[in-house]
Structure 1
Amino acid sequence: MTITPDDFPIRKIATIVEEIRHDGGPPATVPRRRAAALVLVKNPFAGAYHAELQPAMDALKPLGLEMTKRLIAALGGIDGVDGYGKGSLVGSAGELEHGALWHVPGGYAMRDALGEALAIVPSSKKVGGMGASLDIPIGHKDAAYVRSHFDSMEVSFPDGPKPDEILFALVMTCGPRVQNRMGGLEAENISVRDGQR
């Protein structure tokens, strides 16, 4: 079975930007920004088991690039972008593994666009019905142990995913949680450059 980008037609795409000024404490000197790009696509694998799925990751690479460009534009460029995450919500006629198709197209598109993004892109996936929400985990782009950037962003479409659709999402952030005070490695002290510390 040959899979191309045309096998994942887009029904709806959206970009959301949040500016977080405080979280119950003093206002942040610089507000934290979070942005998500969401897309609903047809799931060509819905309704049947398919043993071979991996080639479809290549077909989704252009979508990953398009969504990454949308996120960067929404945040005003890559300056200040220091966190990211990704996720997928598979409609009920699909299976969890269909959400895993997003690992390469979503994650590598963001890492490539941001330059030396060394840390793994946190990820979530689940199967759900229309209107279900998805929590996208977020971590620092250069080091996994930067506690100030551990976060999540909840995303959803009220009318999707339909049973034969998948919601793919990418998230980028600028800055730490506005009231972070849990210690650990600070972003300015990243030194090992191994994606961890």
Structure 2
Amino acid sequence: MPAVVVRKFLVQVEEIFHEGGPPAARPPKRGAIVAVITNPFAGRYVEEITGFMEDLKPLGLEMARRLIDAMGDGVAAVEGYGKGAIVGAAGELEHGALWHNPGGYAMRELLGNARAIVPSTKKVGAPGTRIDIPVTHINASYVRSHFDAIEIGVGDAPRSDEMAVILAMTTGSRVHARVGGLAAADIKGEDGLR
């Protein structure tokens, strides 16, 4: 398979103090990292593309490390995660699906015992396209307080022959989460759901 060629990285971290309610004692952070890479399959149909997932694994690990470092609170502080991809117009949605395995497993590996499936989204778009990356708790997808999303995009990407691959992490619930459901403190940790 072809080598992974990165044109640029973008890292975004938000610290949320309040959303109209009382200021948080420990403001949660939402962060995302984007790697803009060349799409080796752009402009033509290629039947066998799965080998590129293996090539993307080192990039996934590098991005997860960079994002953990940018968040500034260490691995133990990460409570939520998600991933996604924006494929340039000369590519196809299936090219974005190549990011599922390397992106998800990279975060799960670095975060230790993360059990929940990493939520994901993908789309085809032009430069400047933005995407909402879904986020759930790293150990239990049913923890309602951690249902969230991070909007991200890159002004000049993806070009038609590129992909923007994305990882997202949070350090807590929504700042004023109060809609009930399974609490993070009550996670059983058996199946990635509860």
TM-score (norm 1): 0.96
Match of 1:9 among 1, 5, 8: 5
Corresponding residue number in structure 1 for 2:63:
67
Quote the residue 1:180 is aligned against: 177
Residue by residue over 1:100-124, the C-alpha shift from the partner in whole angstroms, topping out at 9 and shown as x without a partner, is: 0001110000001001100000000
Q: How far 1:187 moved relative to its partner?
A: 0.2
Counterparts of 1:3-152 in structure 2 under 5 Å?
3-4=1-2, 6=3, 8-76=4-72, 77-152=74-149
- In the alignment, is the contact (CA less than 8 A) between 2:88 and 2:162 conserved in 1? yes
In 2: Cα distance, 1:33 partner to 1:81 partner:
9
Q: Which runs of 5+ in 2 are unaligned?
A: none
1:49 alignment partner, SS class: coil
Distance across 2 between alignment mates of 1:158 and 1:24: 30
- Cα distance, 1:192 vs. partner? 4.5
- Report the CA distance between 1:80 and its aligned residue: 1.2
2:177 maps to a residue whose letter is N
Query: What's the offset of the Cα at 1:193?
Result: 2.1
Q: Does 1:171 align with 2:168?
A: yes
Whole-Å separation in 2 of the counterparts to 1:75 and 1:162: 28
The answer for unaligned runs of 5 or more in structure 1 is none
What SS does the aligned partner of 2:7 have?
A: strand
Deviation string 1:114-145 (CA, Å, 9 cap, x unpaired) is 01100000000000001000110000000010
Normalising by structure 2, we get a TM-score of 0.97
1:38-84 Cα distance to aligned partner (Å, 9 max, x none): 11001000001111111110010010010011011112210211100
Asked if the contact 2:139/2:192 (under 8 Å) is kept, the reply is: yes
How many residues are aligned here? 193
Residue 32 of structure 2 aligns with an amino acid whose one-letter code is A
Please state whether the residue corresponding to 1:112 is helix, strand or coil: helix
- Following superposition, the deviation at residue 25 of structure 1 comes to 1.3
